[in-house]
């Protein structure tokens, strides 16, 4: 029977990794992810999790060890944040191109400088083109559920891609919340043992990560792109199967009061919960507003996203990552690209805020809707504004 327990998002992730019977954890601690690997290290030391915990000297080594581990067919987990994710950066591309089913939790954190250990999406956005499947959980329950699902998705033979489970640093990783923790029995055969089809084996030698000259590199790249785009169905199937067993449904694009909404706020991550409060308040005042939460970020669910915002005349994006010299932030760039050229395309405005751990209250989200309306009404040529800063 599932127990209702109180725990940080970090500990919830660790419990999911334990229940998954993970074989190898190779990780380096970094705020705000530290509690995940600390807890896992404790579980291994206490014999609660029969895994090899590889204590590495850096995140670059952590991901490299994960490559080796996954390549022999072991269920592999790691976790990082912020600067740590950046230090892993080059190895991330190897994991996806070699199709190794690694699961990684990222407690999203601001990037230096100035040095800041608190949450935002600078790290996540910097890795968005690294070929991993990436999605976001907004609270302890979601990150528990989605970490468990991540193993099933990554290891599925129609997928074989690494999966990043994003959670907002501190706002999810460090907040103690109640969540339902199933026991092993209840988990049943939801997550079968890993069966990686191409394990390194001296009796059947293969080469991974070989070199590809200009004559064949483009073909390898296209094959990888087509493969990652073909994972949508399996991701949704796994989430649907999870819903059938455990009663909690996840969708690539989640909507809140969008059916007849004229202005739709699009955002990613735990701040959506504050945005939802603002939407409810504005709805009670008769304003036709709604909220679209992007859960699956890579591969981007283009059709589901277009469907979700189809009633909107205005789309307002809120995102926690700065653009330096770009036209808009990375989430808005995706949104604009997804909606450009469709019939009756909405007007789009980007707001960047919640940087380096700064909160956004429901009141600020209300103000954001108001400011967007003003920009649209006056037809101002503004692509994005940074909000919540002292002028």
- By CB under 8 A, name the binding residues for other proteins: 97-100, 160, 197-198, 205-208, 210, 212-213, 215-216, 218-220, 222-223, 226-227
Q: Which is nearer to other proteins, 2 or 212 (CB)?
A: 212
Complex with other proteins: residue 132 or 170, whichever CB lies closer: 132
First to last CA, the chain: 53
Token code pair at residue 235: 């991701």
Q: Smaller CB distance to other proteins: residue 202 or 286?
A: 202
Measured from the CB of residue 319, what is the shortest distance to other proteins in angstroms? 32
Q: Which of 8, 292, 6, 304 is nearest to 143 (CA)?
A: 8
Residue 101 or 119 with smaller CB distance to other proteins = 101
Which residue's CB is nearer to other proteins, number 44 or number 227?
A: 227
Which of 209/326 has CB closer to other proteins? 209
Rounded least distance, CB 238 to other proteins, Å: 19
Rounded to a whole number of angstroms, the minimum distance from the CB of residue 76 to other proteins is 15
The enclosing H or E element of 4 equals strand 3-8
What is the Cβ-side half-sphere exposure of residue 209, based on CA atoms within 13 angstroms? 12
Contact by Cβ (8 Å): 258, 186: no
Residue 305: CB minimum distance to other proteins, A:
26
CB 70 within 8 A of CB 102: yes
Q: Tokens for 289? A: 């507003």
Residue 198 beta carbon to other proteins: minimum distance, rounded to whole angstroms:
6
| Close Cβ partners of 318 (under 8 Å, ≥ 6 residues apart) | 265, 266, 267, 271, 275, 351, 353, 354, 360, 365, 368
Nearer to other proteins, 95 or 165 (CB): 95
Q: How far is the CB of 96 from other proteins (least distance, A)?
A: 9
**How far are the Cα atoms of 101, 110, 313 from residue 329, in angstroms, in the given order?**
29, 15, 20
Shortest separation between residue 253's beta carbon and other proteins, angstroms: 28
Continuous segment of H or E residues that includes residue 184: helix 184-187
């Amino acid at each position: 029977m599932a127990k209702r327990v109180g725990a940080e998002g970090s500990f919830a992730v660790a419990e999911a990794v334990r229940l998954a019977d993970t074989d190898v954890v190779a990780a380096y601690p970094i705020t705000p992810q530290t509690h995940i690997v600390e807890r896992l290290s404790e579980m291994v030391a206490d014999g609660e999790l029969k895994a090899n915990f590889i204590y590495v000297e850096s995140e670059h080594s952590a991901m490299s060890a994960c490559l080796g581990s996954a390549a022999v067919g072991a269920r592999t987990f790691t976790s990082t944040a912020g600067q740590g994710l950046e230090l892993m950066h080059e190895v991330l591309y190897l994991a996806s191109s070699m199709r190794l089913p690694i699961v990684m939790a990222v407690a999203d954190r601001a990037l230096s400088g100035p040095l800041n250990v608190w949450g935002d999406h600078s790290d996540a956005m910097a890795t968005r083109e690294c070929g991993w499947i990436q999605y976001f959980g907004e609270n302890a329950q979601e990150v528990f559920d989605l970490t468990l699902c991540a193993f099933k998705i990554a290891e599925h033979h129609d997928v074989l891609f690494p999966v990043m489970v994003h959670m907002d640093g501190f706002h999810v990783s460090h907040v103690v919340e109640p969540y339902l923790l199933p026991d092993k029995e209840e988990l049943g055969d939801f997550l079968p043992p890993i069966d990686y089809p191409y394990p390194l084996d001296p009796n059947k030698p293969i080469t991974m990560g070989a070199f590809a000259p200009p004559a064949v590199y483009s073909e390898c790249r296209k094959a990888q792109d087509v493969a990652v785009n073909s994972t949508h169905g399996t991701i949704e199937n796994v989430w649907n199967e999870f819903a059938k067993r455990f009663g909690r449904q996840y969708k690539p694009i989640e909507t809140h009061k969008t059916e007849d909404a004229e202005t739709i706020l699009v955002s990613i991550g735990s701040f959506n919960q504050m945005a939802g409060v603002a939407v409810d308040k504005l709805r009670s005042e008769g304003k036709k507003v709604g909220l679209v939460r992007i859960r699956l970020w890579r591969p981007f669910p283009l059709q589901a996203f277009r469907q979700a915002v189809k009633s909107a005349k205005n789309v307002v994006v809120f995102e926690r990552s700065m653009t330096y010299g770009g036209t808009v932030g990375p989430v808005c760039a995706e949104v604009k690209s997804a909606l450009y050229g469709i019939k009756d395309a909405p007007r789009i405005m980007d707001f960047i805020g919640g940087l380096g751990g700064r909160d956004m209250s429901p009141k600020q989200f209300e103000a954001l809707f108001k400011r967007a309306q003003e920009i649209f009404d006056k037809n101002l040529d503004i692509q994005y504004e940074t909000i919540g800063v002292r002028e």
